[in-house]
Amino acid sequence: MSESKKRDTRFSDGDGDIGEFILFMISGHPLLPSSESSSVVVHRRGTPSRNLPSFRCLCHNVSFSSSTYDETQTNFFELKDQQEEEQEETAVSAGATTRYPLKPLTSLARSLSVVASKHLYSADSRSSQQYSLECPVKDRGSRVSWGSMEMHNNSNTCTSFDISRSSSVVQDKLSKSRRVRNKSVDFDDYLLYAENPRLIYINDPRRTNDKYEFTGNEIRTSKYTLITFLPKNLFIQFHRVAYLYFLAIAALNQLPPLAVFGRTVSLFPLLFVLCVTAIKDGYEDWRRHRSDRNENNREALVLQLGEFQMKKWKKIRAGEVVKMHADETIPCDMVLLGTSDPSGLAYIQTMNLDGESNLKTRYARQETASSVFEGCNVAGLIRCEQPNRNIYEFTANMEFNGQKFPLSQSNIVLRGCQLKNTDWIIGAVVYAGQETKAMLNSAVSPSKRSKLESYMNRETLWLSIFLLVMCSVVALGMGLWLHRHEEELDTLPYYRKRYLTKGKENGKTYRYYGIPMETFFSFLSSIIVFQIMIPISLYITMELVRLGQSYFMIEDKHMYDSSSDSRFQCRSLNINEDLGQVRYVFSDKTGTLTENKMEFRKASVYGKNYEGSDLTDDSLQDHNIRAAAVIRSRWKLKSEISVDSKLMDLLHKDLAGDERIDAHEFFLTLAACNTVIPIVSQDTSSCHGRSESLEDVEAIDYQGESPDEQALVSAASAYGYTLFERTSGHIVIDINGNKLRLDVLGLHEFDSVRKRMSVVIRFPNNTVKVLVKGADSTMFSILARDTERDDQIRRATHSHLTEYSSEGLRTLVVAARDLTDAELEQWQCRYEDASTSLIDRAAKLRQTATLVECNLNLLGATAIEDKLQDGVPEAIEALWQAGIKVWVLTGDKQETAISIGISSKLLTADMQQIIINGYSEEECRNLLADAKIRHGVQSANRKKQNLKRQKNSENGYLEIPDEAKSSNVLQLRAGKEEPAVCAPLALIIDGNSLVYILEKDLESELFDIATSCRVVLCCRVAPLQKAGIVDLIKSRTDDMTLAIGDGANDVSMIQMADVGVGICGQEGRQAVMASDFAMGQFRFLKRLLLVHGHWNYQRVGYLVLYNFYRNAVFVLMLFWYILCTAFSTTSALTDWSSVFYSVIYTSVPTIVVGILDKDLSHRTLLQYPKLYGAGHRHEAYNLQLFWITMIDTLWQSLVLFYIPLFTYKESSIDIWSMGSLWTIAVVVLVNIHLAMDIRRWVFITHAAVWGSIIITYACMVILDSIPIFPNYWTIYHLAKSPTYWLTILLITIVALLPRFLFKVVHQIFWPSDIQIAREAELLRKVPPTWRSRPDEGSS
């Protein structure tokens, strides 16, 4: 048969002519009526209906090759033990395979497979049967390894990997997958649903829940009830160890021998903190209760006694039949039984569930839709999986009117979704209340802890040691003093053994327990007196400061995205300061660096390249313009799409050649092979001024889950192939004004293993075709190689794909072929069995798809442009200058990722690229070793030794090198120094290599190379591989990591990183909901880190040190007093003064400064990104600063105590007057100390600092005016004396003089980067009013 004849058979029913078929397609022949059945599984026209055989109908000489595991994309494994396992081993060559029983394996996705034949358990039988996965087509050019991943080298040779060499390899991979999975947050483990399915009897809730094992539909998101609030809230609060410490202190103070403070006063600080937190938690929970009550009391129509009646949501039960109307919210998870559309089609919006605004289609099965539409009684049985959190999958089957058919995700509507563009739907409840997928997914993302807070615990431990040392000194001194004065205790005023007063107490002994017990009690009493050495107020202060910082970040107008109307979001208040220490940024590409708004740019059809051009260009011929006008006279797209005039000519020529046929099938595939929803509406604006218009123009918009699909369908419409109707069983395409109805027999959706999508359709003349589109890495291996012409087209298309990828375009390959009756019957048989299976349905559907996805005819390729977001190159450049490494983790092709890397300034011309594309573990090992030797990469241990000489990031302060001490801010240092190499390195690695590298023995090699490179690009990576790369850095370094993404595939990466940032993009809000911070554009990351991150880190670092100082100086002052009063643990300060010191007197200034203070303006921080390196060097908070602060605190406490003591040594002043002086002096001292460090004074700062001193005086006046207090009227006597005021002034000057001199000398001779930048700011001749206003707006 000639080549043309051979190609003609793709369109003809047998020996018909191709020209007749084309004429038939564009003619006005009537289509079959829409009322005919269009079952997805089985639909044969012109043949009598019959029961298709089950899986066992196939011949016995065929076998399935199933996936064994997926190391990178398998989220969940559940292996079923078998008592006996037999293996037959044969040489894996010339088609020979290894056969052994398959352990049932459940997973979300698979990317690696074993080329082997195994026993596959049928869904309805325990007996095993083998089925061949070899393509049932003669003369195949290359063998297809079913269910396996095929990888290609440059010569397009297909390589299949047998990674079942030994059981140890499998176990290692499984353990590795579990290790990665445990570090990320994903769905719960699946159950083997076939063993324990949920039985739902439709319209029979009593029988459904006869064992009372299903929950009702009432939901509860609140934490507490009236009964459990107090105990549960206290239990949660006392998870903080500091609270337990202060509870123990308060309990000790209740004991009579240890009652240093008043028993009520000692409880005040802890009760205050507990009450404030409890009130906040109680208010939040009351709001949850109110929301739950409103939600549970909503009403819906439920079928009761043969008619639909209103019923409250909380009383709906599993098994009941519910009817919903347009724009109503779905109350529970329901399987669709029927809709207002006769074909069973319904549109829903899932914004409340996953944040996606695009409409999605759901279908009622034709078997139930017709019965519901006719008003028949509804009864049947649904077998479904147990409740789980996966909102993207649903596995079940239904028995209805004697038929059994599968149910999938497209047949269920979930709680929280809204019904759109559909008058009504009727569904059977399968999951209710807390068991719905929405409620199972309502858990918050895992809480993260600030790294600075973990460092703070180290200093808290040191303060605890100081506290114990001071208490031991007091106790030891007490014991020695008692031993020395043991004979005088009867007469000494504090320790006499007997009462000397007259009355009934005369002669009675004091409670004296002997020297050992008195010493022990002195130790415990000292702990009570010195308790605030551990600052309880610091926890509340940090929470309030972080809250204030978050407010100013949210209100920053520079991080508002007008295009998406999205403001910056702070979803976590625990890690604000971590934004100032980020060293690694892991970024997704599509939708994060790019806009994720796809535009069809180029196409390769029949080996020829076509590029879009502007329709209004004068170079276009008149007939092209007229042809385009004809196309658009009926359908108006939402956005204009440029078309190629030559390709348009080809489509409109009356030719019967192969090129015309391929072009026709190419655009037919683009219009048909998708899941988009056409939304048609009348457009009167476009034809308002066109009186010559013969018909109204209809505007058409496409809604879909993938922007790629929307772009491809829109492009097909621009070329005259307009998809305008879709139901569960058919689609209708307008081809240049002629309607073509295609029956959809089955759809294999895109998955990460096959990396392609296919649809099986029947034409009006009963011709059946499979239309396929997918990634070139998997498409070229399943193409037919019949003639030399096919090879030429393949080579030309491959060349075009390389060209497209180098330009940064996203590519897809399009192919199709005819199916014979035998192939169709075989596929339908397996498709029915696989789609009704409750065990590993996804894997069986993948295997079934491979029956038709082979020997395809290559039609062409598409190229879609995903433009960079505004400001991305500038943001990446600024981050690099700040010493932050940016790694891009994407699922795109390597060429596309490299092109985007160049355009975004991530890759530069002077970089040496290290490309790792390995197809085996040994090859990856050799590539890594070769790269290390060639580029002189050091091992991790040696690198650590070198870094130890350069930095002391945790235990000290890294000094600025000499070259950075000049006044030129442009020479500021970036932080860590990179290894000395002749040129910067860039590592480019693909997901296939990561499959082998992410093992313990190769991870270290990858780590050594990656950390030596300035840029890392990971291509074709799976979601869990993204998390694995983040963990590679996080687990091996102390560097702060940040992950940023916009899609559900970025969730694992975002939750793995120390800081997770979500982009409010086109792919829904899963990433936003799992993130710590969210924003509208990648470019805002520059301001978030360089400005707010720097400010937050500087503020919180100083806040912690200041709180340590503030409490320690007060405690040390009491310590010196106790040493001078015979170690008696008495206090010169009143109980209320001690309590109010950290709660009222000194707390407000620290909060205000922590929120508003700025060391530099936002302009300076953005102009000089290297200033961000202060966070990398831990300049604001480190152990050396802590010890310097403690030494300063020791000096200030000595001055604070001894100057008043020496001043009033010869006077008759009483102890309470001294206590009043010390109280005022310490408050003035710590506030002046704070004022010395404030860099930005505003009105609120002045009011807080000086106002706290005024408030202290006011409180002292009030307390000293109460007659029952021992310090009654002391402040009035002291205020009259000039000595009192001079003493306070002298204390302040002498105590702060060393600190002042130290700061002056250090800033003159050893200035920091920040100090240099501050001086540069002061030298600018800019009016203060102009400089301060923008700063205030972006705090």
Tokens 């009130």, located at residue:
279
Nearest CA among 650, 581, 577, 641 for reference residue 609 = 650
Tokens 């609120």, located at residue:
1244
Point out which residues pair with 634 in neighbouring strands.
Answer: none
- Would the CA dihedral through 244, 249, 253, 257 be positive or negative? positive
Measured distance between the N- and C-terminal CA atoms of the chain, rounded to whole angstroms: 78
CB 878 within 8 Å of CB 604: no
> What are the phi and psi torsion angles at 565 (to 5°)?
55, 45
3-state secondary structure 385-413: CCCCCCCCCCCEEEEECCEEEEECHHHEE
> What's the DSSP call for residue 1093?
I
Question: How far is C-alpha 406 from the geometric centre of its chain's CA atoms?
Answer: 33
Alpha carbons 438 and 826: distance in angstroms, whole number: 38
> What's the DSSP call for residue 100?
E
> What's the DSSP call for residue 1142?
I
Other residues' Cβ atoms within 10 Å of the Cβ of residue 780: 22
Active site residue 654: no
Angle formed at CA 485 by CA 482 and CA 487, multiple of 5 degrees: 115
3-state secondary structure 1185-1212: HHHHHHHHHHHHHHHHHHHHHHHCCCCC
> What are the phi and psi torsion angles at 591 (to 5°)?
85, -15
* C-alpha distances in Å from residue 237, one per residue of 154, 234, 243, 534, 547: 61, 5, 8, 17, 19
Alpha carbons 918 and 457: distance in angstroms, whole number: 45
For residues 551-584, b (16+ Cβ closer than 10 Å) or e, as one string? ebbeebeebbbeeeebbbbbbbeebbbbbbbbbb
Alpha carbons 160 and 281: distance in angstroms, whole number: 57
3-state secondary structure of 906: coil
The token duo for 18 is 């191709």
For residues 791-827, b (16+ Cβ closer than 10 Å) or e, as one string? eebbebbbebbebbbeebbbbbbbbbbebeeebbbbb
Query: CB burial class (10 A; 0-12, 13-18, 19+) of residue 1283?
Result: middle
Alpha carbons 321 and 376: distance in angstroms, whole number: 13
Alpha carbons 741 and 43: distance in angstroms, whole number: 14
Counting every residue written for the chain, the total comes to 1339
Query: CB burial class (10 A; 0-12, 13-18, 19+) of residue 129?
Result: middle
* C-alpha distances in Å from residue 963, one per residue of 513, 970, 979, 1312: 68, 11, 18, 12
Annotated catalytic residue, options 333, 354, 556, 588: 588
Alpha carbons 867 and 594: distance in angstroms, whole number: 5
Question: How far is C-alpha 692 from the geometric centre of its chain's CA atoms?
Answer: 54
CB 846 within 8 Å of CB 774: no
3-state secondary structure of 148: coil
**CB contact set of 58 (below 8 Å; sequence gap of 6+):** 131, 826, 829, 830
Stated as kind and residue range, the H or E segment containing 777 is: helix 776-779
Tokens 């103070």, located at residue:
253
Positions marked active-site? 588
